[in-house]
Amino acid sequence: MSRRPFSSRVPAELGGNRLSQAIASARSAGEPLIDLTQSNPTRVDLEYPDYLLSALADERGLKYEPAPFGLVAARQAVARDYARRGVEVSSDHIALTASTSEAYSLLFKLLADAGDLVLAPRPSYPLFDHLARLDAVALRYYDLEYHDGWTIDMASVESAMLSERTRAILLVSPNNPTGSFVSRQELTALTALCAPRGIAIVADEVFADYQIRPGACVDAGRVMDAREGLVFSLGGLSKTVGLPQIKLGWMAVGGAASLVADALARLELICDTYLSVSTPIQAAAAELLTRGAAVRKQIQTRIAANYRALADLIQGVPSCTLLVADGGWSAIVRVPSIGTEEDLVVDLVSKGVIVHPGYFFDLPHESFLVVSLLPAEDQFVEGIRRVLRHIESL
């Protein structure tokens, strides 16, 4: 066969897995499925106010004024949103992006050469593999450990940092799917490790508004408080106001003043090369952030109610344990290891319910199931009942 003209940034194998095949065949047979992997807020029966998008017609959207970091008014709106959460950031230190995923890509370009290392938590968000690979950086993992709550295994961070080529560490707070916030003590320890080694801290705070344990948001470490090293905080409309389709994210830059200034100058060149956020969205940003609070409130209520319902239902099934989650949009259930996780989730499709296996998020061993806390309460409860009934029947 002749040489094929593709880079190795995209994996050679693109086929689906057994779970996606089982879902596709159940759907094509017309079987109704309760989707407990649904993490798209626009598909879970939330009420979006009908005036929500009217700001997109703002006439400022008719004028193109290219600005690498985005329109000042939009960046000020994002700074006010940080202030709402008690975090002080200057709008001059904020850059708008089309999504958090894009923010990662811009930061990898800023911080790493091809082949450099970026550290990511395990378990965590599966998209990191693709995000890193598409920007030609290599991922190394550090571990989160569970003892009635998740903590960062600092020894695994230190050993992952041994390479001179380590450029950045990714934190997700609260993390997807563990629901664990990075604590103040952890952040202090990480800053002490990273700053002298010239390793940047990139904190993905997209779920920062969503606590399950009361007080968890207030107790969490705040990366923007750092005054040494270089830190970034990532956020976006997709989670904070449940509008992933709008495509507006951002990053805030903090740390030692001289590093911040250098980072902003370099980032400006990168952002100026793409100018990816559309003007109507920037013009609407302030209104979307304010009006979207109504959606955020519903999501906060939904995840808390579903987590409580899950805890209640699991109490009746001694072979299953709900792991403690402080926040976020998902929950992890430890289930008996009778077969493989993959067999279990495929069997569950035949019972009319879709859940993620733990290995999808690199949970340390089998068997865990990961469920989204977003589905409408009645669907969620029915889906969990089906899962538990099936496990009890094994």
Binding site for ligand PLP (CB under 6 A): 39, 99-101, 125, 172, 176, 204, 206, 236, 238, 244, 249
- Between residues 195 and 246, which has the closer beta carbon with respect to ligand PLP? 246
Whose tokens are 């370009």? That residue is 109
User: Taking the complex as a whole, how short is the minimal distance between the CB of residue 231 and ligand PLP, in angstroms?
Assistant: 17
User: Taking the complex as a whole, how short is the minimal distance between the CB of residue 207 and ligand PLP, in angstroms?
Assistant: 7
Give how far the C-alpha of residue 21 lies from the chain's centroid of Cα atoms, to the nearest Å. 25
Q: How many CB atoms lie within 10 A of CB 345?
A: 27
- Between residues 207 and 380, which has the closer beta carbon with respect to ligand PLP? 207
Q: How many CB atoms lie within 10 A of CB 115?
A: 9
- Between residues 178 and 191, which has the closer beta carbon with respect to ligand PLP? 178
Question: What φ, ψ does residue 348 adopt, rounded to 5°?
Answer: -65, -30
User: Taking the complex as a whole, how short is the minimal distance between the CB of residue 221 and ligand PLP, in angstroms?
Assistant: 16
- Between residues 206 and 344, which has the closer beta carbon with respect to ligand PLP? 206
Helices assigned H by DSSP within the chain: 18-28, 72-84, 100-111, 127-134, 154-160, 184-197, 216-219, 237-240, 257-274, 279-291, 293-315, 341-350, 377-393
User: Taking the complex as a whole, how short is the minimal distance between the CB of residue 375 and ligand PLP, in angstroms?
Assistant: 15
User: Taking the complex as a whole, how short is the minimal distance between the CB of residue 74 and ligand PLP, in angstroms?
Assistant: 15
- Between residues 299 and 320, which has the closer beta carbon with respect to ligand PLP? 299
Tally of CA atoms within 13 A in the half-sphere of 272 that contains its CB: 7
User: Taking the complex as a whole, how short is the minimal distance between the CB of residue 289 and ligand PLP, in angstroms?
Assistant: 14
- Between residues 82 and 125, which has the closer beta carbon with respect to ligand PLP? 125
- Between residues 278 and 340, which has the closer beta carbon with respect to ligand PLP? 278
Looking at residue 342, its amino acid is: E
User: What is d(CA 34, CA 384) in angstroms, rounded to the nearest whole number?
Assistant: 9
- Between residues 235 and 383, which has the closer beta carbon with respect to ligand PLP? 235
User: What is d(CA 208, CA 174) in angstroms, rounded to the nearest whole number?
Assistant: 6
DSSP 8-state assignment for residue 361:
G
Degrees, nearest 5: CA angle 26-243-59: 135
DSSP 8-state assignment for residue 123:
S
Helix (H) or strand (E) holding 140: strand 138-146
Kindly compute the dihedral angle of the four CA atoms of residues 110, 222, 124, 392, in this order, to the nearest 10 degrees.
Answer: -170
- Between residues 125 and 368, which has the closer beta carbon with respect to ligand PLP? 125
User: Among candidates 165, 130, 113, 120, which has minimal Cα distance to 9?
Assistant: 130
User: Taking the complex as a whole, how short is the minimal distance between the CB of residue 385 and ligand PLP, in angstroms?
Assistant: 26
User: Taking the complex as a whole, how short is the minimal distance between the CB of residue 234 and ligand PLP, in angstroms?
Assistant: 7
Helix (H) or strand (E) holding 332: strand 330-334
User: Taking the complex as a whole, how short is the minimal distance between the CB of residue 130 and ligand PLP, in angstroms?
Assistant: 12
